[in-house]
Each structure stands twice: as structure tokens, then as C-alpha cells.
Amino acid sequence: MLKPDSVGALASTLCLIHCMITPFIFIAKTCSETCCDSSPAWWFFVDYMFLIISCWAVYRSTQNTSKKFMKPLLWGLWLALFFAIVNEKLLWIVMSKNVTYTIAISLALVHLYSLRYCQCKTNKCCTK
């Protein structure tokens, strides 16, 4: 069975890759015969799919962590990623794509840290 931190790190990494290749898809699409300047609708739903998967991973990771600081750190990074992705669609404020990349990388690294150093060995150590 996959551990939530493994799923979270994988989801964050795939989200980062998804965000990084989007501009290349736009460039390739502008060279296609349709000459549309937008990506397919399903491509934008991938963002929300990653948010749902990472939300589950953060929830499960916070249930199984042995360190109290991990819960607010994981949820804070997830909320920041959620805001960055929704902001990208709704344009509340102007932000560099690097902000989203940094948040996704940070969330993946925190999941990896949690996987390595914050796992409960017994039910007594987990924060509820």
C-alpha cells in the first residue's frame, strides 16, 4: 500500500511537471492547423485533479505524522498551492509561475521529509 507521503510527493512532482510543460503545449498548439490560443479543457482539469489527490495525501499524512509542526506546514503549503492554481485561472493578483513551482517543490520536499523522518511506529505517537 502506498504511503500518503509517497502519493503526496508524487502528486506534487507530477503537478510541477504538468505546470512546466504547459507552455510548450501552447507553443506546439499555435503551430498546429487549428491555430487556437487556448489549451484543451481537459488540460485545465488536470490541475484540479492534482489538488484533490494532494489534499487527500496531506490529510492522510497529517493523521500519521509524529511531528506536530508537520500538520500546519503541510496544510499551509497545500493552501498556498490551491490559491496559486485558482489564482492562475481567475487572476486575482499577478504572480510569477515561479511561485507555483516553488510551492509545488516545497510540498513535495516536505512530503519526502515526512516520509523519512516523521512516520509513526506505533499508534501512540501520531498527532490527532
- In 10 A of CB 50, how many CB atoms? 21
102 or 31, greater pLDDT: 102
* Model pLDDT, residue 33: 47
Whole-Å CA distances, 94 to 28, 36, 48, 79, 90: 25, 24, 20, 18, 10
Task: Give the 3-state secondary structure of residue 95.
Answer: coil
Amino acid, res. 9: A
Predicted TM-score of the model (pTM): 0.71
* Model pLDDT, residue 25: 63
* Model pLDDT, residue 79: 97
* pLDDT single digits (tens) 12-60: 888 778 777 766 666 555 555 454 545 666 667 878 888 888 898 899 8
Averaged over 103-109, what is the pLDDT?
Answer: 89
* Model pLDDT, residue 87: 93
> Which segments of 37-125 does DSSP mark as H helices, in order?
41-63, 70-90, 97-117
* pLDDT single digits (tens) 66-83: 888 999 999 999 999 999
